[in-house]
């Protein structure tokens, strides 16, 4: 996969901006009103960005409100594809063969990299939004009329702290592993990897005192961090050269990871076959042999004792 358009002259990976940012609202008079069975998610089980939307859709119990289709984890120069296989399928909504068709149907001039997740409007036949930040917020707040869940992952009183943590984690951890893995100069790589582990060290210290990164219950901030941590030892440590330490080497971060993984229905959102196939087979500039490692062995069901922190 070619990321050259997202790499600076200095060797830094500079992620492209999401281009579809319309908003579904609970207001029936809005351009995109929340409705049952109107919207559909296109996702990859391999992608941490898409993983967040999968988690929130499940936590908010919206499976019967918003449909979901999983793309093939192996992506080539044509981009994400809809194919039948273990854990992924053809597109039942539009019959698209490639996700790029959804982008072209929404904007004929679109020329950037095609990404997941995508929130698709079946009624208008176009992409509403391709930003997981926005989609997670919509799923959290705009479909409450159609779910029995009263869960609020972005409570108003915690929003300033959630936003602060999200900014820190996104720049240095979520995107930090990509800035490390896709760096094209030694200086760029070292700057990114050292900042990544500086923030992981700070999170380790924070989690020695409290169960979650913000508040006493999991919030959006935790579910934005989780998809990166769950992929770290299996992919980012070796494939992206984030190898100063593993998550398992951090007592508090690893316990926190197991705590979140053991939350009701979360384990079912983690598919290591898709994750490893995607990274090790797709990124041929990093792994030209396309050999997928067998390990590591991880016991995510082991006790964590995080509940002792309150």
Q: What is the 3-state secondary structure (H, E, C) of the chain?
A: CCCHHHECCCCCECCCCCCCECCCECCCCCCCECCCCCEEEEECCCCHHHHHHHHHHHHCCCCCCCEEEECCCCCECCECECCCECCECCCCCCCCCECHHHHHHHCCCCCCCCCCCEEEECCCCEEEECCHHHHHHHHHHCCHHHCCCCCCCCCHHHHHHHHHHHHHHHHHHHCHHHHHHCCCCHHHHHHHHHHHHHHHHHHHHHCCCCCCCCCCCCCHHHHHHHHHHHHHHHHHHHHCCCCCCCHHHCHHHHHHHHHHHCCCCCHHHCCHHHHHHHHHHHCCCCCCCCCCCCCCCCCCCCCCCHHHHC
Tell me if residue 242 is catalytic: no
Query: Active site residue: 39, 178, 189, 261, which one?
Result: 178
Burial class (CB in 10 A: 0-12, 13-18, 19+), 172: buried
Token pair recorded at residue 225: 């961090």
Query: Active site residue: 32, 39, 42, 47, which one?
Result: 47
Nearest-angstrom CA–CA distance, 10 and 262? 41
Burial class (CB in 10 A: 0-12, 13-18, 19+), 111: exposed
Q: Catalytic site residues?
A: 47, 178
């Amino acid at each position: 996969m070619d990321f050259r358009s997202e790499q600076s002259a200095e060797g830094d990976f500079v992620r492209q901006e999401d281009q579809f940012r319309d908003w579904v609202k609970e207001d029936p008079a809005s351009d995109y009103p929340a409705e049952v069975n109107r919207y559909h998610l296109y996702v990859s089980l391999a992608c941490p960005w898409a993983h967040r939307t999968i988690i929130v859709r499940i936590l908010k119990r919206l499976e019967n409100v918003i449909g979901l289709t999983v793309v093939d984890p192996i992506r080539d120069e044509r981009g994400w594809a809809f194919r039948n296989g273990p854990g992924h399928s053809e597109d039942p909504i539009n019959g698209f063969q490639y996700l790029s068709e959804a982008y072209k149907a929404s904007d004929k001039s679109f020329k950037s990299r095609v990404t997941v997740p995508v929130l698709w409007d079946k009624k208008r036949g176009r992409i509403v939004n391709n930003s997981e930040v926005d989609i997670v917020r919509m799923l959290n707040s705009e479909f409450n009329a159609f779910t029995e869940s009263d869960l609020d992952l972005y409570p108003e009183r915690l929003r300033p702290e959630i936003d602060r943590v999200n900014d820190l984690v996104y720049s240095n951890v979520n995107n930090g592993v990509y800035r490390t893995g896709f760096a094209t100069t030694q200086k760029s790589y070292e700057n990114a990897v050292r900042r990544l582990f500086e923030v992981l060290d700070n999170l380790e210290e924070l989690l020695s005192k409290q169960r979650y990164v913000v508040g006493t219950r999991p919030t959006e901030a935790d579910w934005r961090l989780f998809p990166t941590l769950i992929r770290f030892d299996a992919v980012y440590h070796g494939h992206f050269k984030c190898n100063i330490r593993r998550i398992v080497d951090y007592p508090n971060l690893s316990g926190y990871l197991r705590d979140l993984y053991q939350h009701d229905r979360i384990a079912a959102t983690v598919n290591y076959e898709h994750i490893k196939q995607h990274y090790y087979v797709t990124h041929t500039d990093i792994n030209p042999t396309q050999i997928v490692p067998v390990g590591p062995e991880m016991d995510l069901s082991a006790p964590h004792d995080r509940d002792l922190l309150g």
